[in-house]
Amino acid sequence: MPFVPGRVQGRLSLGEPGSGGIRVVHQDQVGHLEGRPDGLIVVEAAPFSYAMIGILDRAAFVALGCNDLMQTLFAADWDQPRLRRYLDPYAPVLYRFLGQVAASAEGRLDRVQVCGLLPQIRGVLPLLLGLGYRAFSVDTVMIPWLARVVRTTRLSDARALVERACLSRNARELRALLNLPG
């Protein structure tokens, strides 16, 4: 689906066992998913994320496609150079949003996987752990580094860190909190 500025977009993809593919379901069809497939629902747009509890009722597993989620949340497109700067992984609003998504999972966050580049970005994994996320889709080459981050992160510290991160006024403050340049 091409990006159209000013229009909320996205898709919800439902992978059904044995289907050999992914069925694309658009926003207006979310309420019409029938049954509870044993497959996977991929959430790639902010409006779907707020319906997490309903989505978890309809799928065995949910994947948050953070690259596309960020595009809908920030109304910017990775392919548009003049808009790319708005897709800042250190924007505090992103973690406030992901915190609301986590809360809407109502104790079933173990069935939600964070996908995309976000967990691989320096300083971000402790924030995601602090929000309660425990499943991540990452590049294989990143696994040793991310495993080290997980081993050395105390969950109580991660929860306190993400609370402070969500109170940050802008990305510069959040970077400073994470001891990152810029």
SS (HEC) of 137-178: CCCHHHHHHHHHHHHCCCHHHHHHHHHHHHHCCCHHHHHHHC
Range name among 54-63, 89-98, 143-152 with the lowest pLDDT average = 54-63
Percent of the chain with pLDDT over 90: 34
- 72-114 confidence digits (pLDDT tens): 888 888 788 888 788 899 999 999 999 998 998 888 888 888 8
* Mean pLDDT of the region 151-166: 96
170: left (phi over 0), alpha (psi -120 to 50) or beta: beta
Q: Quick one: what percent of the chain has pLDDT higher than 70?
A: 72
DSSP, collapsed to helix, strand or coil, labels residue 2 as: coil
Residue predicted with more confidence, 140 or 6: 140
In this prediction, residues 109-120 reach a mean pLDDT of 89
Fold of 12-177: TIM Barrel (3.20.20)
Per-domain boundaries in the chain: 12-177
Which of 36-40, 47-51, 151-155 comes out lowest in average pLDDT? 36-40
pLDDT on residue 32: 45
* Single pTM value for the model: 0.77
Across the range 9-30, mean pLDDT stands at 37
Sheet (strand 61-65) strand order: 22-25, 12-15, 40-43, 61-65, 112-115, 135-136
Predicted confidence (pLDDT) at residue 177 exceeds the cutoff of 80: yes
Average confidence score pLDDT of the chain:
77
